[in-house]
Amino acid sequence: MTCSILVGGAWGDEGKGKCITYLCDNDKPDIIARAGVGPNAGHSVEFNGEKYGLRLTPSGFVHTDAKLMIGAGVLVNPDVLFDEFEKLKKYNIKERMSVDPRCAIITEEHMSRDKASEHLAKKIGSTGSGCGPANSDRVLRTIGLAKDSPVLEDYITDVSVAVNEAIDNGEEVFIEGSQGFALSLYYGTYPFVTSKDTTASTFAADVGVGPTKVDEVINVFKSYISRVGEGPFPTEMTQEEAESKGLEEYGVVTGRRRRIGYFDMELAKESCRINGATQIALTCVDRLFDCARVQDYDQLSAETKAFIEDIQTETGVPVTIISTGPDLKDTIDLRKELL
């Protein structure tokens, strides 16, 4: 069995939610652990004809036999979590969820501070969810933790112990990262970044797993690229060009329009190197090429295959998952052939 980490390859919005849902629905992990910043990241999940926008619940929730966990490095807003319990009631999220006692808690005061910095929000693309101020307070060691929150009392579990015991017992563990590599506080386009590191190494630390226990790092890239807020964007196209290509997008959490650009190979190479990627999942291929709902690699056009092979050659990492549509079955899975 394996411990896998999924990472956003660029500025977020790469289609991680669909990839996570597909992998968890097919591989049936025993534990799905959420890593990353907190509820400022939105993951879109489409399953059985229904769409969900998630901010804290692991996107792999559709695999109903898995335990769901939120690692110590993740900021938790209990109101967001309980709202998702209600929205996802038929999946028994509440009964399956565990929160590490060391998670820091976002309060109304954090959100007020975030929203008060409107000039900063516009500049760096802050969602107003309170994550920046909360992480600031965490660094200053003035924030409350989940273990001291009465409303979370029934959900407290040492996630690091649970995950490591599962790995040692030969169980399957899947760690969900959020946002994207290029938003990393260390490796992103500073200062237009999020409030912590967003690489695979930190995602492992978020749930208390050492690097020697990680088997696979799956880097997710969209076939084009997008970002929210200001900051460098070398391959950006005009909004008019994006519209002409049918590539308009809006954020899950904020509803803001995303900036659109062409695939950035230099960014992809850096992302794969720093994350230590062992696989690439490539999404939205159908939005660039005429291959909607194709499920067989041999049925892709020569142009599409050349694009995929170029990514593999330049990054040195195999493209094992190719998404050709929003439905889970609209996926080409090459892991058996390439790994």
Angle between helices 108-116 and 131-139 (to 10 degrees): 110
Cis peptide before 39 (omega within 30 of 0): no
Q: Which residues contact 167 (CB under 8 A, 6 or more apart)?
A: 1, 3, 173, 209, 213
150, 256 Cβ separation under 8 angstroms? no
Structure tokens at 317: 């990492």
Long-range contact list for 43-52, CB < 8 A, 24+ apart? 43/16, 43/17, 43/176, 43/178, 43/252, 44/17, 44/18, 44/252, 45/17, 45/18, 45/20, 45/21, 46/18, 46/21, 46/326, 46/327, 46/328, 47/21, 47/328, 52/87, 52/88
d(CA 33, CA 204) in angstroms, rounded, equals 10
To the query of whether residue 215 is one of the catalytic residues in this protein, the response is: no
Structure tokens at 187: 């490796």
Q: Which residue, among 184, 183, 195, has the nearest Cα to 139 in the 3D structure?
A: 195
97, 155 Cβ separation under 8 angstroms? yes
To the query of whether residue 43 is one of the catalytic residues in this protein, the response is: yes
9, 220 Cβ separation under 8 angstroms? yes
d(CA 205, CA 213) in angstroms, rounded, equals 11
Amino acid at 232: P
d(CA 327, CA 325) in angstroms, rounded, equals 6
d(CA 38, CA 111) in angstroms, rounded, equals 13
318, 280 Cβ separation under 8 angstroms? yes
Of the residues 13, 197, 264, 286, only one is catalytic, namely 13
Of the residues 30, 43, 114, 137, only one is catalytic, namely 43
3-state secondary structure of 292: coil
Active site residues per annotation = 13, 43
